[in-house]
Structure 1
Amino acid sequence: MKDSARDFYDSLAADYHRIFPDWDASMTRQAAALDALVRRELGAGPHRLLDCACGIGTQAIGLARAGHRVAGSDVSPVAAARAAVEAAARGVALPAVAADMRRLPFGPGAFDVVVCADNSLAHLLTARDVAAALREMRRVLTDGGLLLLTLRDYDDLRRTRPASAPPQVSHGTDGRSITFQLWHWHDDGERYDQEYFQLVPEGDGWEVRVRRTASWALTRSEVTEAVTAADFTDVTWQMPETSGFYQPVLAARARPR
């Protein structure tokens, strides 16, 4: 993952909750959708689960509250540290470390489930890096273990190439904040640069915070091919209307070796 992604999430970590109208409600809703998929595939558990792009804990905390034994890792040490603190404040343990998903610091077969959510894989901008990350996810999964990976609906976005994402209004103890993105598509029609704007209350006005990063708009067929090549099988996609999760979700099983 490029340093720009780590720097982006280091900078955003303190404000990441502002992406959501109500972060705790989103945390509960997203974990419920992912937990239902885990239970359907593997049974009630609890299961050993790694969130390999845990950020500040949006999915990991809720999954820990659902009873799973969750560990987190993230390319951003600032985000990973906040995830552990936020989990403790909500009464659950979430050991979280700073780690690049292409080089996970866990042993082979350490987990029953690996989650890679919130469009995190898209920050890897080459096929080689995507393959390296997926191989690592497979390595740390037990045979037959479950991969859950979520991305934006890039099948549609590659076709329409929007110039922006809809604004989100968050309500917090310091008032309302507004988050919106501008997207600048590369000539290849697949990758794009993001300008991430947040308007945060400051006195009688607003402070404008701007962060920048890049993403690769991987289609579902491209991701399916890469996941299959990384030694996964039984690849399926669940769309939001059936999964309850806000992005398309890929589910796959680690092929026994």
Structure 2
Amino acid sequence: MLVSSVGDFYDVLAADYHLIFPDWDASMTAQARALDGVVRARLGPGPHRVLDCSCGIGTQAIGLARAGHRVVGGDLSPAAVARAAAEAAARGAVLPVTVADMRELPYRAAVFDAVVCADNSLPHLLTTADVRTALAGMRRVLRDGGLLLLTVRDYDEVRAARPTSTPPQVSTTARGRAVTFQLWHWHDDGERYDLEHFQLVPATGGGWEVRVRRTAYWALTRAEVSDAVADSGFSEVSWHDPEASGFYQPLLTARRV
């Protein structure tokens, strides 16, 4: 199976990314409420300087900006950050954006109070060296005592079960319902997998248009993520389950020391 680069994957997905959610604006609001609560509980009332280093089309960054934080969005997909800026402006939010790989963050040292890396973005990095490079960069741009917020898919059970697909998700478009699901193709190491991202959208004149994008992930367990974060110079590494945080994925928080 031909797997595109991560940047290419999100470039072609950018226009349709919101269809992953039944209601993107409602999801944006709920996710920002959860992350904002964590940030203010640990850093004080703010507002705070926040970098979303894998902002995509702005799902977390726009909501955090609307909550009053001074947010910068970075992502390696030019199409995604362009849409993030446009969607933020349409909602009255200020969101400066930068095309940036999380392994080469182009920001000054110690400039942010918090760094967000959400939506299972870190596991796109397929080697230990790349994961450590990205985390070191996040630490560099945080001030002393700054907060890292990292969310990933709950891979602990996934690694054992090795599922080959995800349940379909249905959202509504102006022309009718759209369906999103994934097929997973596991590597022999049992840790990494190639992903086929399918979207069925209503076609002009009836029927379905099928859109397929391909990328790869590393199914990092919580222990592996925790170790990498701690080894990168963070302290107070802790996990927060969705029931406690309100965020839809497991959330790791850690402090820069």
Question: Contact (CA 8 Å) 2:4, 2:214: kept in 1 or not?
Answer: no
Q: Do structure 1's residue 93 and structure 2's residue 97 form an aligned pair?
A: no
Q: Quote how far apart the aligned CAs of 1:166 are.
A: 1.2
Question: Contact (CA 8 Å) 1:18, 1:179: kept in 2 or not?
Answer: yes
Task: State which drifts further: 89-98 or 172-181.
Answer: 172-181
Residue 214 (structure 2) aligns with: 212
Question: Contact (CA 8 Å) 1:51, 1:116: kept in 2 or not?
Answer: yes
Residue 35 (structure 1) aligns with: 36
Residue 228 (structure 1) aligns with: 230
Q: In the TM superposition, what are the counterparts of 1:116-127 in structure 2 within 5 Å?
A: 116-127=117-128
Q: Quote how far apart the aligned CAs of 1:44 are.
A: 1.0
Q: In the TM superposition, what are the counterparts of 1:32-181 in structure 2 within 5 Å?
A: 32-181=33-182
Q: Quote how far apart the aligned CAs of 1:3 are.
A: 6.4
Q: Quote how far apart the aligned CAs of 1:40 are.
A: 0.9
The letter for the 1-side match of 2:151 is T
Aligned equivalents of 2:16, 2:169: Cα separation in 1 = 13
Task: State which drifts further: 30-39 or 171-180.
Answer: 171-180
TM-score by length of 1: 0.98
Listed one character per residue, the Cα deviations across residues 129-162 of structure 1 (whole Å, up to 9, x for unaligned) are: 0000000000000000000000000011101111
Q: Quote how far apart the aligned CAs of 1:171 are.
A: 1.0
Aligned residues: 254
Residue 15 (structure 2) aligns with: 14
Aligned equivalents of 1:171, 1:163: Cα separation in 2 = 26
Listed one character per residue, the Cα deviations across residues 180-221 of structure 1 (whole Å, up to 9, x for unaligned) are: 000011110000000000001112111000000000000000
Question: Contact (CA 8 Å) 1:81, 1:97: kept in 2 or not?
Answer: no
Give the % identical residues: 70
The letter for the 2-side match of 1:38 is V
Residue 193 (structure 1) aligns with: 194
Question: Contact (CA 8 Å) 1:198, 1:210: kept in 2 or not?
Answer: yes
5+ long unaligned stretches in structure 2: none
Q: Quote how far apart the aligned CAs of 1:172 are.
A: 2.2
Listed one character per residue, the Cα deviations across residues 44-94 of structure 1 (whole Å, up to 9, x for unaligned) are: 100000000000000000000000000000010110110000000000111
The letter for the 1-side match of 2:138 is M
Question: Contact (CA 8 Å) 1:111, 1:141: kept in 2 or not?
Answer: yes
TM-score by length of 2: 0.98
SS of the equivalent of 2:166 reads strand
Listed one character per residue, the Cα deviations across residues 163-182 of structure 1 (whole Å, up to 9, x for unaligned) are: 10111101122321100000
SS of the equivalent of 2:236 reads strand
Runs of 4+ aligned residues of structure 1 deviating over 2 Å after TM superposition are none
SS of the equivalent of 1:165 reads coil
Q: Do structure 1's residue 24 and structure 2's residue 21 form an aligned pair?
A: no
Root-mean-square deviation over aligned CA pairs: 0.9
Question: Contact (CA 8 Å) 1:168, 1:180: kept in 2 or not?
Answer: yes
Aligned equivalents of 2:219, 2:142: Cα separation in 1 = 26
